Structure 1
Amino acid sequence: MEQIVYLDGAFVPVAEAKVSVFDRGFLFADGIYEVSAVLDGKLIDNDAHLARLKRSVGEIALPLPETLERIVGIQKELVARNNLRDGLVYIQVTRGASIPRDFLFPKAAKPTLVMITSEKDIVNSASARTGIAVKTVADIRWARRDIKSVALLAQVLAKQAAAEAGCQEAWMIEDGKVTEGGSSSAFILTRDDVLVTRENSSAILPGCTRKAVTKLAEERQLRVEERAFSVEEALAAKEAFVTSASLFVQAVVRIDGQTVADGKPGPITGRLREIYIDFARATAV
């Protein structure tokens, strides 16, 4: 069956989905995106993702062409049309197409709304059992990382460098501290059993999975500290892991070729992954 995508009011086969070469997402990266996970054909923690979508478009004065309620309906129909059981729904909103090309916001352009699905077995991922390796890179991104912009070139370069080094993720470093992963939030568990993750600010994206995992950890009496940490502190930690919609919770077992603890996923990481998956299934819509 050919994949179906949603584009500006219509569900169409992927081969028929066309966006103008004058679309500002293509010319200026003038757009916002969001990604929600799907388990058993249902959307995971979707309200948090749509709330972040609304915030991000608001930060760049980009109007949503549909209500959030209608977007949920489109997501669900797209999942059904593609018979998606486990995977992801990607949403992208741009400021639309305008001729001629101009830096200023166009007065008459209609925003472009695209949604696509992809299959991924997040729960049974092999890397969840073995853990992943990360490579550190300089954080060269712009100053508003709290906005989920489609301008992802810095992350592309970071993740490419990680892949070429045999790693599955990049950790970006600024002023000697870890900001976040190329497409994930970063955590460590210190030797005195404190869960540490960077505090929300314009320096990082406010991760939806990060938020849920932090809350679930606190509900189970784990002490959580929101602050920056260094690579050296991560290497000295009991455990390290990342969170995202496309990974849930996955252990980091190597950083720049050096092992974290015994080089295997730790028990707290494993337990938090189980708890998050239980939460995801219980609250899926």
Structure 2
Amino acid sequence: MSRIAYVNGRYVPHRDATIHVEDRGFQFADGVYEVCEVRAGRLIDERRHLDRLDRSLSELRIVPPMTRAALSVVIRETVRQNRVRDGIVYLQVTRGIARRDHAFPDKPIPASLIVTSRSADPVKRDKAADAGVGVITVPDNRWDRVDIKTVGLLPNVLAKQAAKEAGAKEAWFVDAKGEVTEGSSTNAWIVTADGIVVTRPAEHGILRGITRAVILDILAAAGLKLEERAFTLAEARAAREAFFTSASNIVVPVVKLDGAVVGDGKPGPVVSRLREEFYRFAEASA
């Protein structure tokens, strides 16, 4: 079966899905996106993802392309037409199509909306997480507003490629202070020798991850100690456990950092518990 994409009001074959050459997302990365997991035919944390989408659009002063209820219908129909039971749904909103000029168009234009969905193998994902993965570190050279989930991801692309070439799963950004900010497409966490879970606070320096929010709920319910603060690369290297989180990967143990073993080189009890508990705390909607 060929894949289907939703593009500006139409469901079209994925291979024929196109945007105008002067769409501002293409010209200026003037747009935002979201990725939501589909598990057993249900959307995971849709409400939180759409809340974050609304915030991103507001920060960039982009008028939503349709009502939230209508967008939910489009998302579900795209998942349905692609027959995705386990996988992801991707949505992207840009400021729209206008003559190329850095400033916003003088007259209101409709925002562009693209929605796609594809299947993924949850068994394969879990198998990788069961063994743990490697992470490398790279200098953080991104703009200051990474809390907005924009499509301007070139530094992230280069970091992810560096990780791939190094045989690692992810790259963590490290700022000028020697502190880990986040991954190229994930939030970063460590567990100290004292059993304290540490992650950077969700301010302008990192993206407010949806999976991150669920993990905070699990930690609170389990009575595990949490510190929302910056942690240094040296702390990460000395950590008992490390892991990263994202909508497409959920919770992934980090067993190597820049080639050095983290902890005992195996997924630890904290990250294992978080993985086991995740779907009990995440919101699943039909």
TM range (shorter): over 0.9
Q: Deviations over 1:134-172 (max 9, x none)?
A: 110000000101100100000001111111111110000
Secondary structure of 2:231's aligned partner: coil
Equivalent residue, structure 1, for 2:112:
112
Match of 1:69 in 2: 69
Provide the secondary structure at the position in 2 that maps to 1:5: strand
- C-alpha separation between the residues in 2 aligned to 1:127 and 1:201? 30
Is 1:140 aligned to residue 141 of structure 2? yes
Residue aligning to 2:181? 179
Q: Where does residue 101 of structure 2 map in the other structure?
A: 102
Is the CA contact 1:122–1:246 (under 8 Å) kept in the aligned structure 2?
Answer: no
| 1:40 is aligned to 2:40 | yes
Q: Does 1:260 align with 2:259?
A: no
Does the C-alpha gap of structure 1 residues 231 and 123 become closer, same or farther in structure 2, counting only changes over 3 Å? farther
- Give me the TM-score of the superposition, normalised by structure 2: 0.96
Identity %, equivalent residues: 48
Equivalents in 2 of 1:272, 1:124: separation in Å?
Answer: 18
1:226 paired residue number: 228
Give the whole-Å Cα distance in 2 for the aligned partners of 1:240 and 1:190.
9
What's the CA shift string for 1:207-254, capped at 9, x where partnerless? Answer: 110011111111110111100001211121111000100100010000
1:250 aligned partner, one-letter code: V
What is aligned with 1:78? 78
Q: Tell me the residue number matched to 2:170.
A: 169
For residue 20 of structure 2, what is the aligned residue in structure 1? Answer: 20
Q: Distance in 2 between matches of 1:10 and 1:194?
A: 49
Report if the CA contact (8 A) 2:135-2:172 is conserved. Answer: yes
Is residue 138 of structure 2 the alignment partner of residue 121 of structure 1? no
**Matches of 2:85 and 2:24 in 1, distance apart?**
33
Distance (whole Å) between structure 1 residues aligned to residue 236 and residue 148 of structure 2: 26
Aligned counterpart, 1:191: 193
Change (3 A) 1:212 1:123: farther
What residue ranges of structure 1 are gaps of 5+ in the alignment?
Answer: none
| Structure 2 letter corresponding to 1:105 | F
Q: Distance in 2 between matches of 1:152 and 1:122?
A: 26
Aligned equivalents of 2:196 and 2:123: distance in 1? Answer: 26
Match of 1:205 in 2: 207
The number of residue pairs the alignment matches comes to: 283
3-state SS, counterpart of residue 122 of structure 2:
coil
**What is the rounded CA distance, in whole Å, between the counterparts of 1:83 and 1:57 in structure 2?**
29
Contact map agreement 2:82 2:118 (CA 8 A) in 1: no
Given that 1:123 and 1:277 are in contact with CA atoms closer than 8 Å, whether structure 2 keeps it comes out as no
The Cα shift of 1:92 comes to 0.2
SS at match of 1:62: coil
Shift of 1:123: 5.4
Amino acid at match of 1:11: Y
Contact 1:132–1:252 under 8 Å retained in 2: yes
Q: Secondary structure at the match of 2:217?
A: helix
> How many Å separate the matches in 2 of 1:124 and 1:17?
29
Cα displacement string for residues 28-48 of structure 1 (whole angstroms, at most 9, x for unaligned residues): 000000110000111001111
Deviation at 1:97, TM superposition (A): 1.0
TM-score (norm 1): 0.97
- Give the residue type in structure 2 aligned to 1:232: A
Give me the whole-angstrom Cα distance separating, in 2, the residues matched to 1:109 and 1:164.
41
Q: Which residue of 1 aligns with 2:7?
A: 7
2:83 alignment partner AA: N
CA distance in 1, matches of 2:12, 2:257: 43
- State the shift of 1:271 in Å: 0.9
Provide the rounded CA distance (Å) in 2 between the counterparts of 1:104 and 1:34. 24
Corresponding letter in the other structure for 2:181? T
- For 1:173, the aligned partner's letter is V
Equivalent-residue separation in structure 1 for 2:40 and 2:123 (angstroms): 11
* 2:219 pairs with 1:217: yes
Q: CA deviation at 1:95?
A: 0.8
Would you say the 8 A contact 1:249–1:272 is kept in 2? yes
- Residue by residue, what CA displacement relative to the aligned partner does 1:175-212 show, whole Å, maximum 9, x if unpaired? 20000000000111111111100001111100110011
Rounded to whole Å, the distance in 2 between the matches of 1:159 and 1:124 is 20
